[in-house]
Amino acid sequence: MIYKYIEKASDKLIVLLHGTGGNELSLLELGQIIDQNASLLGIRGNVNEKGMNRFFKRIKPGLFDLESLISETHKLKSFINQFLSEKTVKYDDIVILGYSNGANIIGSLIFHYGKMFKGVAMLHPMVPIKNFLVCEQNSQKIFISASINDPIVDLKEAITLEEMLVAANADILMKWYSSGHEISNEEITDLKKWYNKL
Ligand code: MLT
Residue nearest to atom 1 of ligand 1 (CA): 101
- 92 pLDDT higher than 90: no
Q: Residue 115 has what pLDDT?
A: 96
User: Measured in angstroms, how far is the CA atom of residue 85 from the centroid of ligand 1?
Assistant: 30
pLDDT of 145-160, one tens digit each?
999 999 999 999 999 9
- Indicate the DSSP class of residue 163: H
Q: Which residues pair with 39 in a beta bridge?
A: 13
- 76 pLDDT higher than 90: yes
Burial of 33 (0-12, 13-18, 19+ CB in 10 A): middle
Band (pLDDT 50/70/90 cuts) for residue 135 is: very high
19 Cβ contact list (under 8 Å, min separation 6):
26, 99, 100, 101, 102, 103, 124
User: Measured in angstroms, how far is the CA atom of residue 137 from the centroid of ligand 1?
Assistant: 24
Output the CA–CA distances (angstroms, integers) from residue 139 to 24, 114, 165, in the order listed. 29, 10, 10
User: Measured in angstroms, how far is the CA atom of residue 100 from the centroid of ligand 1?
Assistant: 6
Our mutation pick for probing the ligand 1 site, out of 20, 69, 182, counting the most ligand atoms within 8 A of Cβ, is 20
pLDDT of 4-57, one tens digit each?
999 999 889 999 999 999 999 999 999 999 999 999 999 999 999 999 999 999
Residue nearest to atom 3 of ligand 1 (CA): 101
pTM of the entire structure?
0.97
* Minimum-distance ligand 1 atom for the alpha carbon of 152: 5
